[in-house]
């Protein structure tokens, strides 16, 4: 029997003390799609209840790991005790492809100032300076980025002053990030901090003209498991020029030159919407939301890009690529549907994938019965139309909000107001994102910042055919006899983006939900033998 989501919600809340339950209730929502297109309000981007086991990461992780980490030729130095650097070293599967033997790639390295008690007491700026000089001598990079960890903020080291001095001394770009782990309620704060500094210190610093046609930036695609490689290849076949990707398979120069693009295509809205907005304001580059997860999403996104440039030849090439790819996609879809139709999935991950991957499951005939984000904001759930109603709390106010104005010489609106209206009339959302909930079924459970206790209860109540989360959840889920697909790292698989990625995903999930292995999972304490031992003991 299908569980009643309202009863499930009450059940999840019943474990909490009254006051906590009242607060938590606002973060658990049963989805409705109202006639005016709105969805229920959900509380998001707020502190986790102390004591709850959260899936979240820290602000440093969002800045150093997520946004800047995938860029191969910015040398990253973690200013702090060695653990922060060590444990964030190569833990995300952002791949990169240097163009030749001379193209720098620092991703395999881990650089840390290794702060000791002495620096905590007397300050760490001197050691940071020495570390930057040493790193420069060793690598001669184009740019160095410094990332602050919790103690740096607590003792008040001025990483920005050090960066300014070293920039002057070394003659390369050096910039710092005040991304102390505690700075926000989750890694989301780190995204914002990374966006700000990239925008201030890098974007627009390389004026090399780009004579090509159909120039775009892809924002919020991090090349996990090679996703960006698939998308890059699609663009190339379509004749779309990719100036830069923020930041999968990216380089410093590409960021610096990114203001030459005529369109920003935003894949992960949560992590990079700030750069999109700031580039619009400063340079006049419009942005649209795209999604290259799922064959349908990929086709739609390519079509929207073509529509934006409004060129017959581009449109023709895009249509040709789509039809070439769709034959195999549909063949695999047909095959897996016979085995997967009607099966159920739950997705609790990050700030954008819990939405995007529902599309892939739908293409296989599978239903998402519950989903949620770790650190998304209300606009990622309900759509950007709720932005004016989002209350700015003390935690958000803590993060710098850059004031951006049109550039005196370089502001050039790529599309006039009437052209933008036309694009919107043709079904394109310019500077808009509809959010996850309007695309979820009525009655689906939406849970923000899910607690581990809730994960376990959901597994027991719904017994979904697959649960998608990360490495911290994976083995607990599998011990419950349910397969877990990691949507952060792809379990060492992928790519899952684009058409070929979709085929990969269909096949992988088909294998996972149809294997018989899980019905043999039995915990040792569930066997008779164990019970007997227990009886003797009692």
Per the annotation, the verdict on 92 as an active-site residue is: yes
CA distance 278 to 287: 10
Catalytic residue among 24, 44, 56, 61: 61
Query: Any idea what DSSP says for residue 89?
Result: S
Strand partners, 445: 30, 370
| Residue 201 binds to ligand CFM (criterion: CB under 6 A) | no
Strand partners, 30: 445
| Residue 290 binds to ligand CFM (criterion: CB under 6 A) | no
Stretch that binds ligand CFM, among 26-34, 265-273, 394-402, 509-517 (CB under 6 A): 265-273
Closest distance between ligand CFM and the C-beta of residue 63, in Å?
10
Closest distance between ligand CFM and the C-beta of residue 62, in Å?
6
Q: Where are the alpha helices (DSSP H) in 140-287?
A: 150-155, 159-170, 188-201, 227-238, 252-256, 269-283
Residue closer to ligand CFM, measured from CB, 141 or 383: 383
| Residue 271 binds to ligand CFM (criterion: CB under 6 A) | yes
Footprint (CB under 6 A) of ligand CFM, residues 323-382: 349-353
Closest distance between ligand CFM and the C-beta of residue 80, in Å?
20
- Choosing from 24, 64, 92, 500, the residue that interacts with ligand CFM (CB under 6 A) is 92
CA distance 321 to 230: 13
Query: Any idea what DSSP says for residue 474?
Result: H
Closest distance between ligand CFM and the C-beta of residue 427, in Å?
24
| Residue 495 binds to ligand CFM (criterion: CB under 6 A) | no
Helix, strand, coil percentages, rounded to 5, for the chain: 50, 15, 40
Q: CA distances (Å), 5 to each of 330, 441, 450, in order?
A: 33, 12, 15
Residue closer to ligand CFM, measured from CB, 247 or 307: 247
Per the annotation, the verdict on 58 as an active-site residue is: yes
List, in order, residues 6 or more apart from 314 with CB less than 8 Å away: 213, 214, 238, 239, 240, 306
- Residue, CB closest to ligand CFM: 350
Q: What are phi and psi of 434, to 5 degrees?
A: -80, -15
Catalytic residue among 56, 72, 79, 92: 92
Closest distance between ligand CFM and the C-beta of residue 2, in Å?
27
Q: Where are the alpha helices (DSSP H) in 117-224?
A: 117-122, 125-139, 150-155, 159-170, 188-201
Catalytic residue among 24, 79, 191, 259: 191
Closest distance between ligand CFM and the C-beta of residue 375, in Å?
7
CA distance 531 to 21: 36
Tell the residue number behind the tokens 């209840």, with chain if given: 49
Catalytic residue among 24, 44, 56, 58: 58
- Choosing from 175, 199, 222, 381, the residue that interacts with ligand CFM (CB under 6 A) is 222
Residue closer to ligand CFM, measured from CB, 78 or 333: 78
Q: Give the residue numbers annotated as catalytic, written as ranges.
A: 58, 61, 92, 191
Q: Using CB under 6 A as the criterion, which residues of the chain lie in contact with ligand CFM when the complex forms?
A: 62, 66, 92, 187, 220, 222, 224, 268, 270-271, 349-353, 488
């Amino acid at each position: 029997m299908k569980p009643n989501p309202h009863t499930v919600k009450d059940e999840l809340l019943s474990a909490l003390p009254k006051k906590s339950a009242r607060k938590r209730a606002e973060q658990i929502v049963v989805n409705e799609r109202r006639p005016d297109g709105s969805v229920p309000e959900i509380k998001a981007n707020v502190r986790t209840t102390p004591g709850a086991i959260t899936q979240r990461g820290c602000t440093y992780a969002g800045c150093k790991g997520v946004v800047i980490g995938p860029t191969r030729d910015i040398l990253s130095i973690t200013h702090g005790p060695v653990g922060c650097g060590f444990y964030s070293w190569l833990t995300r599967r952002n791949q990169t492809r240097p163009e030749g033997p001379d193209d720098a790639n620092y991703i395999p390295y881990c650089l840390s100032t290794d702060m000791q008690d002495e620096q905590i007491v007397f300050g760490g700026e001197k050691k940071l300076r020495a570390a930057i000089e040493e790193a420069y001598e060793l690598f001669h990079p184009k740019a160095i980025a410094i990332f602050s960890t919790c103690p740096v903020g607590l003792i008040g080291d001025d990483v920005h002053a050090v960066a300014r001095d070293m920039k002057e001394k070394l003659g390369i770009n050096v910039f710092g990030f005040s991304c102390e782990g505690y700075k926000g309620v989750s890694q989301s704060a780190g995204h914002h901090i990374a966006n700000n500094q990239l925008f201030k210190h890098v974007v627009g610093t390389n004026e090399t003209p780009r004579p090509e046609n159909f120039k775009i930036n892809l924002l919020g695609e991090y090349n996990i498991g090679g996703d960006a490689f698939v998308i890059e290849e699609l663009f190339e076949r379509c004749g779309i020029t990719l100036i830069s990707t923020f930041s999968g398979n990216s380089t410093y120069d590409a960021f610096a030159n990114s203001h030459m693009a005529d369109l920003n295509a935003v894949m992960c809205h949560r992590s990079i919407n700030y750069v999109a907005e700031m580039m619009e304001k400063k340079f006049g580059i419009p942005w649209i939301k795209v999604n290259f997860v799922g064959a349908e999403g990929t086709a739609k996104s390519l079509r929207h890009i073509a529509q934006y440039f409004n060129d017959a030849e581009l449109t023709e090439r895009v249509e040709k690529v789509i039809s070439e790819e769709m034959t195999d996609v549909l063949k695999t879809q047909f095959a897996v549907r016979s085995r997967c139709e009607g099966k159920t999935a739950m997705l609790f991950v990050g700030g954008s994938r819990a939405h995007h991957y529902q599309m892939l499951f739908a293409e296989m005939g599978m239903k998402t019965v519950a989903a949620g984000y770790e650190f998304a904001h209300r606009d990622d759930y309900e759509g950007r139309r709720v932005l004016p109603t989002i209350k700015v709390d003390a935690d958000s106010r803590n993060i710098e909000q850059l004031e951006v104005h049109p550039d005196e010489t370089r502001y050039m609106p790529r599309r006039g107001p009437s052209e933008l209206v036309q694009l919107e009339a043709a079904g394109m959302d310019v500077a808009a994102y509809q959010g996850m909930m309007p695309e979820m079924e009525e009655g689906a459970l939406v849970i923000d910042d899910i607690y581990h206790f809730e994960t376990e209860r959901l597994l027991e109540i719904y017994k979904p055919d697959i649960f998608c989360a990360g490495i911290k959840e994976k083995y607990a889920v599998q011990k419950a006899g349910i397969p877990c697909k990691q949507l952060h790292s792809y379990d060492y698989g992928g790519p899952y983006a684009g058409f070929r990625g979709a085929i990969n995903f269909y096949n992988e999930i088909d294998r996972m939900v149809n294997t018989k292995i899980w019905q043999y999972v039995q915990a040792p304490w569930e066997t008779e033998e164990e019970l007997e031992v227990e009886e003797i003991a009692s």
